[in-house]
Amino acid sequence: MKKILGIVGSPRLNGNTHVLVSKIIEGAEKAGASGDIILLKDLDIKECDGCHSCWKGNECSKHDDMNKLYPKIIESEIIIFGTPVYWYGPTALMKAFLDRFVYFNCPGNREKIKGKRVLLVVPFEEDDLRTARPLINMFEKSFQYLEMTLIEKIIVPGIGEKGAILKKQERLDKCYELGKKLAIRDEL
């Protein structure tokens, strides 16, 4: 059974990011996968202060909720990174979460995430797709560096209000179908 972890980096409960990530997980579960959604807003994840402890293979020196998340990340086959565009980048919640992936920099820990498949889910208000470009670049480079494989990007312009995504049924259906495929296929 495939394990799929959805990370929601929006501070809005039931916001657009949450809805999109949930649809993928819903589809995946329907097709037999085991899904889990993490709302970063509910966790205490401190910013990395660059102490380099984890780079040397030691436990992260921050004793916060990220230490509970590392095992979940490691045991998941597929990870969905969901964040709205905030000033042409991700939310601060998502950036703090990603920064803590330096834990996976030392050779011992890198093996634990190398080759994992990841998806990016990004809603935003402006209609211009280029709005998401800096954010996408940042994730593409980071995933490449971490040796994870970005298999799908769900980039949704033109949604600002909380719940605006609910009016885009076609998008939601696509996310649901995508989730089903993730559960049963090794390639998309």
Ligand X SMILES: Cc1cc2nc3c(=O)[nH]c(=O)nc-3n(C[C@H](O)[C@H](O)[C@H](O)COP(=O)(O)O)c2cc1C
Footprint of ligand X on this chain (CB under 6 A)? 10, 12, 15-18, 84-88, 123-126, 131, 159-160, 162
Q: How far apart are CA 182 and CA 188, in angstroms?
A: 7
Task: Name the closest residue to ligand X (Cβ).
Answer: 15
Rounded to a whole number of angstroms, the minimum distance from the CB of residue 67 to ligand X is 26
Rounded to a whole number of angstroms, the minimum distance from the CB of residue 85 to ligand X is 4
Rounded to a whole number of angstroms, the minimum distance from the CB of residue 99 to ligand X is 19
- Name which of 17 and 76 has its Cβ closer to ligand X: 17
- Name which of 113 and 132 has its Cβ closer to ligand X: 132
Tell me how far apart the 2 most distant CA atoms of the chain are, in Å: 48
- Name which of 103 and 124 has its Cβ closer to ligand X: 124
Rounded to a whole number of angstroms, the minimum distance from the CB of residue 43 to ligand X is 16
- Name which of 95 and 162 has its Cβ closer to ligand X: 162
